[in-house]
Structure 1
Amino acid sequence: MSNEVGSRKNSQNGGAAPAESGEITLKAKMSLLNGVTVIVGSIIGSGIFVSPTGVLMHTGSVNLSLIVWVVSGLFSMVGAYCYAELGTMITKSGADYAYIMETFGPFMAFVRLWIECMIVRPCSQAIVALTFSVYVLKPFFPSCTPPEEATTMLAICCILVLTFVNCWDVKWATKVQDIFTFAKLLALFVIIATGGYQLFLGKTEHFNFEGSNTQVTSIALSFYSGLFAYNGWNYLNFIIEELKDPVKNLPRAIAISCTLVTVVYVLTNVAFYTTLSPNEVLGSEAVAVTYAERLFGMFAWTIPVFVALSTFGAVNGILLTSSRLFYAGAMEGQMPEILTMIQIQRLTPTPAVLIMALLSLFYLFSSDIFALINYVGFATWVG
C-alpha cells in the first residue's frame, strides 16, 4: 500500500518519520562521522579494483598512470569543495539537481535530472554489479575470463536482492551499507600494508615512464577511468537535510573524505605495481585477485571475498541514494507522478527503487565494463 506525499521530502537513512499532519518529515540526525562514512562508502566501490586496468591501458606507463590517479583525485576535490559551498547555501536534498533548479530554473534542472536518472546512475550501478560478478566468479575461473552469461546473471541477482532490501526497509539498507563499507576499507588496508612491505623489500622495478602514451585522446580516456573511481563525492549533498549543522559539517566531511580516498587510491595503485607488471595488470579483469594470488598463497581467496563485499555494498549505496533522486524529481513534477509514492508502513519510495533497478538491468545487456565506464564518464563530466 502506498501514499502520495504532498511536499518535497525524502526518507534517506531512515530519517523520515510521520508528523502530526500525516506528512513525512525529515530529522537531522547524521553526525560528522556519519557524513564521512556516507561519502567514503559511496566513492569506494568497484572503481579502485577495476579502473587501474583502464587507466594503464590508455597511459601506457605506471608512473603516468599514478599521475592520472593523483590529478583525478585533485580534480574531484575541486568539484567537491564547490558542492560544499553550494550545500551550505542551498540546504535542500537533491544535490546538483536542487542547485540547478535554484540557479538556472526548471528546464536546465530537468535536463540534468534525466541525464542522471536515465544514464549516469543506472549505468554506474550496472558497472558495479558486473564488477561484483567478476570478483565472485574469478576464483572459479583462475586462468580465464568468467563466462559472460554467468557474469551477467550474477549481476542481475545482485541488483534484484538489493532492490528487495531497499523496498522492504530503509534500516535494512543502511545496515547493509555500514557492514560492507567496513569490508571494503579492510580489503584496501590489507593491500596497502602488503604493498608497503614490498616497497620495503625494494620492489620498485615497474615504476617508470617507459611506453607512456601522451596523446590527448588517450589521456582523456584514462581520466574517464580515473574519475569514475572517484564518483560519489557529492552523495552527502543528496541527503543534506538529514545532516546535523550542515554549514559546519558538510565542508568538513567532504574535505576529510576526499583527502582520505585520494591517499588510499594512490597507495593502493602503488601496492599493485610493486608486485604486478604492467602486462599483468592489463591482462587481468580482477587486478586485486591477481595481486592476492601472487602474494597471499593459500589465503588468496580472502581478497576476492572482500572485494565482492565492497562492490555489493556499493551497489546498495547507489540504489539507496539514486532512488531518492528519482523521488525528488517526481516531487518537482519533472518525473512521472507515480515515483512520488511511498510505502506508508515501511516508508520506502518503492516505485522509485523499482524503476532504478529496471534501468540498471537494461544496461546489463552490455557486459563490457570499460565501454560502460567510458559511457558514464562522458555523461557525468560533460552533462
Structure 2
Amino acid sequence: MPHSDNKMGRWGAVSYIVGNIVGSGIFIVPGSMLQNTGSVGLFLIVWLLSAAVATLGAYCYCELGTSIRRSGGDFAYLTHVRWNAIAFMFMSIGCVLIYPLMLAIQAETTAEYTVQAFRLNENCLNNPALLFIFKKLIFSLFALFMMFINFYSLRRVGARFQIAGTVAKLLATTLIVCTAIYILISKGQLQNFSSPFQNSKWEAMSLVNAFFAGLFSYDGWDVLNFGAEEIENPKRTMPFAILSGMFCVTSIYIVSVFKVKK
C-alpha cells in the first residue's frame, strides 16, 4: 500500500471512535435504560455488559481491519470472500435504511437540544408550526454539514473535526455529570446508591430492552474499518485506538448514572 501523508494517527483514531460512539445515545438512552432496569445497580451492570460486547466486537473487526487492508468495512470483507450478492444487499440496506436512520436520530437530537438551548420552544409556544420549521431547518443543516465534511480528507478535515467534536462532547458531558454529582451531594439525595438493586426489574423483556438500548449507545465501534486504508500503521494504531476509545466511552457512560434522575 502506497504511503500517504494524509493518514490518520493514534489520537485521531481514538477521537474518531469516541466521537462516533458518544453522541445522541448518551443523552437519550440512560433514561430509557433506567426505566427498564428499575435500579441503579442493574443499570450499571447492563452498561458494563454492553461495553464488553461492544469491545469484543471491536477487537474482532480490528483483526479484520489489520488482515484485510481495504476501506469499506463490512462491504469490503464480504467482497473479499466473493460474497458479492450478499455484500450488495448488505450495503444497500445500510445506505437506504441503517445509516440514514442513524444520521436522522443524531440530527433530530441536535435539533431538539439546540431548540431547548436557545429557548426557542418557549418563544414559539403560540406558534407550533414555527417551532416545527426551526427544528427541521436545524435538522437539515446538520445533515448537510455532515455530508460536506465527508467530502474531504479523513486526516485534514475529518479527524480534526472529530477531535474538536469529541472534546466538545466530553466537556458537555463532564459539565452535566459534575453538576449532577454536586446537586446529589449537596442535597444528600443518595438513596438510589444506598440500595442499588432495590426495585430491579428482572423480567426478560425489560432486560432485553435495556440491553438493546445499551448496545445502541455503544454503536460506532467499527468506524475505523470504513477508512482502514487511511490509518497510519493500522496494526499498532487500531488496537490502541479501540482499547483507549472504549475505555474512555465506558468511563463516560458509567459516571453518567449520576445525571439520571430516577
TM bucket by the smaller chain?
Answer: 0.7 to 0.9
Q: Is the CA contact (8 Å cut-off) linking 1:28 and 1:241 kept in structure 2?
A: no
Query: CA-to-partner distance for each residue in 1:114-159, whole Å, 9 max, x for gaps?
Result: 22212221100000111111111124247xx996564344312322
Moved over 6 A (4+): none
Match of 1:205 among 177, 182, 191: 191
Match of 1:193 among 178, 183, 187: 178
What residue is the counterpart of 1:272 in the other structure? 259
Amino acid in the other structure paired with 1:228: F
Q: Is the CA contact (8 Å cut-off) linking 2:73 and 2:225 kept in structure 1?
A: yes
Quote the Cα distance in structure 1 between the aligned partners of 2:58 and 2:94. 17
Amino acid in the other structure paired with 1:178: I
Amino acid in the other structure paired with 2:69: T
TM superposition shift of 1:173: 5.2
Quote the Cα distance in structure 2 between the aligned partners of 1:161 and 1:91. 29
Question: Secondary structure of the equivalent of 2:191?
Answer: coil
Alignment of 1:135 with 2:113, yes or no, is yes
Amino acid in the other structure paired with 1:223: F
Q: 1:255 to 1:35 in 2, by over 3 A?
A: same
Amino acid in the other structure paired with 2:77: Y
Quote the Cα distance in structure 1 between the aligned partners of 2:42 and 2:177. 20
Query: CA-to-partner distance for each residue in 1:200-222, whole Å, 9 max, x for gaps?
Result: 65542123333332222222222
Q: Is the CA contact (8 Å cut-off) linking 2:51 and 2:218 kept in structure 1?
A: yes
TM superposition shift of 1:233: 0.8
Query: CA-to-partner distance for each residue in 1:281-328, whole Å, 9 max, x for gaps?
Result: xxxxxxxxxxxxxxxxxxxxxxxxxxxxxxxxxxxxxxxxxxxxxxxx
CA RMSD of aligned residues (A): 2.9
Alignment of 1:45 with 2:27, yes or no, is no
TM-score calculated relative to the size of structure 2: 0.83
TM superposition shift of 1:189: 2.2
What residue is the counterpart of 2:52 in the other structure? 74
Query: CA-to-partner distance for each residue in 1:41-83, whole Å, 9 max, x for gaps?
Result: 1111111011112212322333222221111111100100111
- Of Structure 1 and Structure 2, which has the larger fraction of its residues in helix? 2
TM superposition shift of 1:197: 4.4
What residue is the counterpart of 2:95 in the other structure? 117
What does residue range 214-253 of structure 1 map to in structure 2 within 5 Å? 214-253=202-241
Identity of aligned residues (%): 35
What residue is the counterpart of 1:263 in the other structure? 251
- Structure 2 unmatched runs, 5+: none
Q: 1:27 to 1:96 in 2, by over 3 A?
A: farther
- Structure 1 unmatched runs, 5+: 1-8, 10-18, 20-24, 279-383
Question: Secondary structure of the equivalent of 1:206?
Answer: helix
Amino acid in the other structure paired with 1:244: E
Structure showing greater relative contact order (alpha-carbon pairs closer than 8 Å, 6 or more residues apart): 2
Q: 1:176 to 1:246 in 2, by over 3 A?
A: closer
Query: CA-to-partner distance for each residue in 1:219-265, whole Å, 9 max, x for gaps?
Result: 22222221111111111111111111111211111111111111111
Quote the Cα distance in structure 2 between the aligned partners of 1:173 and 1:246. 17
Quote the Cα distance in structure 2 between the aligned partners of 1:174 and 1:115. 27
Quote the Cα distance in structure 1 between the aligned partners of 2:232 and 2:159. 18
What residue is the counterpart of 1:183 in the other structure? 168
What residue is the counterpart of 2:64 in the other structure? 86
Amino acid in the other structure paired with 2:91: L
Quote the Cα distance in structure 1 between the aligned partners of 2:132 and 2:159. 31
Quote the Cα distance in structure 2 between the aligned partners of 1:236 and 1:165. 16
TM superposition shift of 1:100: 2.2
